[in-house]
Homo-oligomer: A and B are copies of this chain.
Amino acid sequence: MTIIKNFIIKFALVAIVFTAFSCKKENAAVTDTSNETASLQEHPSLILTAQGVKDIRAQLGSIPVFDNTLKAVQEEIDAEIALGIDTPIPVDYSGGYTHVRHKRNMVVLQKAGVLYQILDDDKYAKYVKDMLMQYEEMYKTLPLHPKTRSYARGKLFWQCLNDSNWLVYVSQAYDCVYNYLSEDERNKLETNLFKPFADHISIDSPQFYQRVHNHSTWGNAAVGMIGLVMDDQELIDRALYGIKDLKLDTKEKDDDGGFLNKDGKAGFLANIEEPFSPDGYYNEGPYYQRYAMYPFLIFAEGLHNVKPELKIFEYKDGVLLKSINALLNLSDADGDFFPLNDGQKGMSYYNDALVTAVDISYHFGTQDPGLLSIAKEQNKVLLDDSGLAVALGIKNGNEKPFNKKSINLSDGPEGTQGGVAILRNKDIELVFKYAAQGSSHGHYDKLSYSLYEKGEEILQDYGLARFVNIEQKGGGNYLKENKTWAKQTIAHNTVTQNETSHFNAKYDIGSQHHSVLNYFSSENDKVQVASARENNAYPGTEMLRTMAIIKDEDFEKPYMLDIMKVTSNKSNQYDFPYYFIGQVVQKNFDYHTPKTLNPLGNKNGYQHLFVEGTAKASSDNSKLSWLNKGKFYTLTSVTNTNDELLFTRIGANDPEFNLRREAALMLRRKNTKNTLFVSVIEGHGSYSPVSESAVNSNSSIKELKVVLDTEAYTAVQITNINGNTKLFITANTNTSKGEKHNLKINDKNYEWSGSYYFE
């Protein structure tokens, strides 16, 4: 509250200055319509600053990454200028010509504006001005976009979201050419284009604007940035705090099934407050954080420059900069973001939004040399003060590797709604999700995980069912299989009970709950553990999952140990799939392969799985080995002879071929109340199709055995092929670090302190 009070006081002061400034503008217009318009607020001031432009011009030619980026942008924009300006009447969905053209125009305008500032060449300013005037001419009579699918239709685009993207970029262009334009020209643009544009995406579209959602963040930033350039305090306030005095129906929902505005919160600050945990985890996951990041940071940069008194980068304990660190840690060895919730695979920190994030984080943060190494890989920088700082840092050889370590990221505004743990050891990365629902982009996959080696999937998370911006595939939007398959529990590496998804796949139930951390331990380089509990996904059933990455000298690589303890008040069927990626090499059980493939079920995602093989587990350990991209992997799972094993393949009931035809092995346990699923996944050996040599192609595990399972402890014994035995004990209840444990297993005493034992 103190912060907000301070804001109000400062705004009041600023408002006084604004009044004076407005008068000045009018006066100036009489005598001077050229570049020299006097102004209390300098231009550019949003992303570039007047001082920054001076510094950049002074360094040009001696800062390779910056120079190269500039050269590339100049070539790109010169080519666009040569093509001429096109601002077509909007007709298309994503991927269609008019959509793509307007999307392209916004980027081109922003870049041309920056070029004008840095190169001081009027041709860029004129280009920006001419295009803006065409938009002004069109916009003043433009009706709603003809495509009707969105819950909030834009004018230039089929959805307000894209209109907001446009204004975020174009505000920057306007700032860059502000002083190039005459006051008449500015008035014309502001009156007929920018102000009504900002109003349309906010006041006219409250269901889009007035909420906590990544869409709204774009809206807020758009309104705020044009407000900063126009010195329009009303717009700036609307950006920071939402539309004044507006209350929405708290029960209305959007297209994705999310509540439009359940608790009345809105505006940019609320959008920082709510979705980010104190650790910087963004509640929808990294794919959407990447998307949301740009408006958060670019508007924050503008606020920092124009309204430094807001101390926006210190807001909520500096969460904006923390979130960049969290986001970078949510990427695999190749920089690809883990596809938690609705995430399209392949999105990575090479995305331009991450160039923004890394540069801003470096410049406005602590000049972390690790960020320079990522910037160097990105091989481009922002053409602004922060990009200059990064380019100088790289030039001076200050970069160090960005070391991703095991990390536990809390979820929820207060950090109390579960989280995501990433366990890393050498090339192995385990992503364990025990978070809250993740807003309307969340999947129903409590306590699920995915596993990677050197950036390649060992066990996959499916990600979303969508071909973003590929018009032929459902207009580039979410496909219906996203809901019928990708969001369902059975699509994930976790337990599905009685063939229904967690929370019955109901968003309003799921969003009330979150999993709870049991413990997280990453102090020991050799044994890293995350353990969490879920009590609400299936009322009456508790799931406690403990996952460890263990580097044991008896094994070639670190392996994953997975202990899922299920306690229920009734008998259930539990399905426990392993979405392995690769080709089957070996299995130790007999199975039946049907001549005809049938779907495994008819709803909750099961309708999308073909059954390629069925088996009864025949021994205490069921094993499956597979080969992927020259590496062998083996799953060893503790089974009993009542367990069923199913080979499944995604692709049933998929008439448009929207789903990838990928496999799983599914362990099915019927008529069971309390049970334990224990498994190990090892990576081992290699195969080269060039040398045709197979190395260490067999599992190193002789036996995996549960030696104790009580309410308080679960103990698993791992015996390798040479007969060496290791014991892992996890505390299911008393897990505080100092806690002393004393336990007898098979007449042997084990004493330790902390949440787990391994030896």
What would be 30 A-B contacts, judged by CB atoms less than 8 Å apart? A95-B697, A344-B689, A346-B689, A346-B690, A347-B689, A347-B692, A348-B689, A348-B690, A350-B690, A467-B585, A468-B692, A470-B585, A471-B697, A472-B586, A472-B697, A473-B585, A584-B656, A584-B657, A593-B655, A595-B598, A595-B599, A595-B652, A595-B653, A596-B597, A597-B610, A612-B651, A612-B657, A647-B657, A661-B661, A661-B663
Q: Does A469 contact B (CB under 8 A)?
A: yes
CA distance A48 to B586 in the complex (A): 44
Question: Is there contact, CB below 8 Å, between A470 and B595?
Answer: no
- CB-CB under 8 A from A348, the residues of chain B are 689-690
Given contacts A593-B655, A657-B584, contact A694 B351 (CB under 8 A): no
Q: Considering the chains assembled together, what is the distance between the CA atoms of A312 and B185 in angstroms?
A: 84
The CA of A351 and the CA of B693, in the complex, are separated in Å by: 11
Residue of B nearest to A476 (CB): B694
**Bound Cα distance A445, B470 (Å):** 36
A625 at the interface (CB under 8 A from B): yes
CB distance from A104 to the nearest CB of B (A): 9
List of 8 A-B pairs having minimum Cβ-Cβ separation, nearest first: A346-B689, A584-B657, A597-B597, A472-B586, A593-B655, A468-B692, A470-B694, A472-B585
Please report the C-alpha to C-alpha distance between residue A691 and residue B470 in the assembled complex, in whole angstroms: 12
Known: A347-B690, A583-B660. 7 other contacts (CB 8 A): A95-B694, A95-B697, A346-B688, A351-B690, A469-B694, A597-B610, A612-B657
Give the most central of A348, A350, A661: most B CB within 10 Å: A661
| Residue A649 is within 8 A (CB to CB) of chain B in the complex | yes
Binary contact track A632-661/B, C-beta < 8 Å → 1, others 0: 000000000000000101011111110011
Min Cβ gap A165→B in Å is 12
Contacts of A468 in B (CB 8 A): 689, 692
Chain A, range 576-633, C-beta contacts under 8 Å to B: 583-586, 593, 595-599, 610, 612-613, 625, 627
- Within 8 Å CB of A190, what residues of B? none
A599 closest partner in B (C-beta)? B595
Given known A583-B657, A596-B596, A697-B95, contact A470–B346 (CB-CB < 8 A): no
Residues of chain B within 8 A of A651, CB atoms compared: 612
**Contact residues in B for A692 (Cβ distance below 8 Å):** 344, 347, 468-469
Which residue in chain B gives the minimum CB-CB distance to A592? B655
| Chain B proximity of A417: nearest CB distance (Å) | 29
- For residue A687, CB closer than 8 A to chain B, the reply is yes
When chains A and B are docked, how far (Å) is the Cα of A651 from the Cα of B697? 24
A232 contacts partner chain B, Cβ-Cβ < 8 Å: no
**Identity of the chain B residue whose Cβ is nearest the Cβ of A472 in the assembled complex:** B586
Contact with B along A69-91 (1 / 0, CB 8 A): 00000000000000000000000
Contact B352 A691 (CB under 8 A): yes
How far, in angstroms, from A345 to B688 measured CA to CA in the complex? 11
Query: Per-position contact with B for A561-587: 1 when CB-CB < 8 Å, else 0?
Result: 000000000000000000000011110
On chain B, the residues within 8 Å of A654 by CB distance are 593
A302 shortest CB reach to chain B, Å: 23
| A335 nearest CB neighbor, chain B only | B690
- Bound-state CA distance A653–B649 (Å) is 15
With both chains docked as a complex, state the minimum distance between the C-beta of A351 and any C-beta of chain B, in angstroms.
5
Cβ–Cβ < 8 Å partners of A657 in chain B: 583-584, 612, 647
Interface string of A481-497 (1 = CB under 8 A from B): 00000000000000000
Question: Which residues of A pack against B, CB within 8 Å?
Answer: 95, 100, 344-348, 350-352, 467-473, 476, 583-586, 593, 595-599, 610, 612-613, 625, 627, 647, 649, 651-657, 660-661, 663, 687-694, 697-698
Complex interface: chain B residues within 8 A of A598 (CB): 595-596
* A592 → chain B closest CB, angstroms: 9
CB distance from A399 to the nearest CB of B (A): 22
Assess the A691–B649 pair: CB atoms within 8 A.
no
**A472 touches which of B610, B625, B661, B690 (Cβ 8 Å):** B625
From B350, B652, B693, A469 is in contact (CB under 8 Å) with B693
Q: What is the chain B residue whose CB lies nearest that of A649?
A: B661
A186–chain B nearest beta-carbon distance, Å = 32
A613 to B651, CA, bound (A): 12
Expressed in whole angstroms, the Cα–Cα distance for A471 and B652 within the complex equals: 33
- CA separation between A627 and B694, bound complex, in Å? 32
- Min CB gap A482→B, angstroms: 15
Contacts of A691 in B (CB 8 A): 351-352
Q: Given the complex, which residues of B lie within 8 Å of A467, measured CB to CB?
A: 585, 627
Question: What B residues does A688 contact at CB under 8 A?
Answer: 346
Residues of B contacting A100 in the complex (Cβ-Cβ under 8 angstroms) = 693
Query: Whole-angstrom distance between the alpha carbons of A476 and B585 in the complex?
Result: 11
Closest to A652 in B: B595
Residue of B nearest to A468 (CB): B692
Report how far A595 CA is from B653 CA in the complex, Å: 6
Shortest CB distance A292–B (Å): 14
Distance between A628 CB and nearest chain B CB, rounded to angstroms: 12
A689 (CB) vs chain B CBs: closest residue: B346
Q: Which of B345, B470, B476, B595 contacts A627 (CB 8 A)?
A: B470
Q: Shortest Cβ distance from A291 into chain B, in angstroms?
A: 9
Task: Please report the C-alpha to C-alpha distance between residue A100 and residue B687 in the assembled complex, in whole angstroms.
Answer: 13
- Chain B residue at minimal CB-CB distance from A352: B691
CB distance from A249 to the nearest CB of B (A): 33
Nearest B-chain residue to A695, judged by Cβ: B100
A691 to B378 Cα, complex, angstroms: 13
Chain B residue nearest to A687 (CB atoms) is B470
Give Cα distance in the complex from A534 to B344, angstroms: 47
Q: Which residue in chain B gives the minimum CB-CB distance to A597?
A: B597
Q: How far is the CA of A523 from the CA of B79 in the complex (A)?
A: 34
Identity of the chain B residue whose Cβ is nearest the Cβ of A630 in the assembled complex: B346
Contacts of A655 in B (CB 8 A): 593, 613
A505 CA to B405 CA in the complex, in Å? 57
In the assembly, what is the distance between CA of A698 and CA of B467, in Å? 15
| Bound-state Cα–Cα, A688 to B598, Å | 35
What CA separation (Å) do A352 and B663 show in the bound complex? 35
> What separation, in Å, do the CA atoms of A584 and B586 have in the docked complex?
31
Chain B's closest residue to A662 (CB) is B661
Contacts of A697 in B (CB 8 A): 95, 470-472
Give the residues in chain B near A597, CB-CB below 8 Å: 596-597, 610
> Smallest distance from the beta carbon of A558 to chain B beta carbons, Å?
23
| B residues less than 8 Å from A698 (CB atoms) | 472
* Complex Cα–Cα for A476 and B655 (A): 37
- Shortest distance in angstroms between A326's beta carbon and chain B's nearest beta carbon? 20
Nearest B-chain residue to A584, judged by Cβ: B657
